[in-house]
């Protein structure tokens, strides 16, 4: 929309300059030449506006596509975080079961549980608490250091029984 306004202003300015030049050069010329020149300038401005509008529409479509892609990426990040959290919980359960039977579980640093402060379910609990307290999505996202899309997805997943 901004580009359209700028295009119209620039077009008007160019039209004004051309008309001034026309008056200086064709001050005593034939009226037919003036009309022809004015028509040519009008066609030029019309073409400029058409091209500007086309480019603006293309840019707006690309921005829309990028926003959809970002939202999809945010949703996938949340799903991955939830899966990682579930895997850590299962690893802890396996460790306890194997430990209770006197077996020596294979320990791997990559299976170390993430502490509650690093991102586990406490982050999601905080989201639920803030949402039930009436906080906005934006405020919740800032306080838990997540994107608004991630917060919306987490709240949506809880609404579906997750």
On whether the CB atoms of residues 11 and 49 are closer than 8 A, the answer is yes
In whole angstroms, give the CA distance from residue 78 to residue 155: 11
Given pLDDT bands bounded at 50, 70 and 90, which one contains residue 110?
very low
pLDDT for 41-95, tens place per residue? Answer: 999 999 999 999 999 999 999 999 999 999 999 999 999 988 988 888 888 888 7
CB atoms within 10 A of CB 150: 24
In whole angstroms, give the CA distance from residue 41 to residue 51: 15
Given pLDDT bands bounded at 50, 70 and 90, which one contains residue 116?
very low
Supply the pLDDT for residue 136.
92
Given pLDDT bands bounded at 50, 70 and 90, which one contains residue 153?
confident
Supply the pLDDT for residue 58.
93
On whether the CB atoms of residues 95 and 75 are closer than 8 A, the answer is no
pTM (2 d.p.): 0.39
Nearest to 26 by CA among 13, 47, 40, 12: 40
pLDDT at 113 over 50: no
What is the mean pLDDT of the segment spanning 15-21?
A: 71
pLDDT at 17 over 80: no
The more confidently predicted of residues 33 and 28 is 33
Residues 6+ apart with CB under 8 A from 146: 123, 127, 154
DSSP state, residue 114:
P
Supply the pLDDT for residue 14.
76
């Amino acid at each position: 929309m901004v580009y359209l306004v700028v295009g119209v202003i620039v077009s008007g300015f160019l039209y004004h300059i051309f008309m001034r030049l026309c008056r200086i050069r064709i001050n005593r010329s034939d009226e037919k030449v003036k009309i022809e020149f004015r028509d040519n300038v009008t066609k030029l401005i019309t073409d400029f506006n058409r091209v500007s509008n086309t480019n603006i529409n293309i840019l707006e479509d690309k921005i829309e596509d990028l926003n959809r892609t970002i939202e999809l990426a945010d949703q996938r990040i949340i799903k991955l975080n939830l899966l990682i959290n579930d895997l850590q919980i299962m690893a802890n359960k396996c460790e306890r079961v194997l430990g209770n039977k006197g077996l020596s579980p294979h320990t791997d640093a990559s299976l170390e549980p993430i502490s509650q402060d690093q991102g586990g379910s406490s982050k999601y609990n905080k989201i639920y608490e803030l949402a039930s307290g009436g906080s906005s999505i934006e405020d919740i996202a800032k306080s838990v250091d997540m994107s608004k899309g991630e917060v919306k997805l987490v709240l949506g997943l809880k609404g579906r029984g997750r």
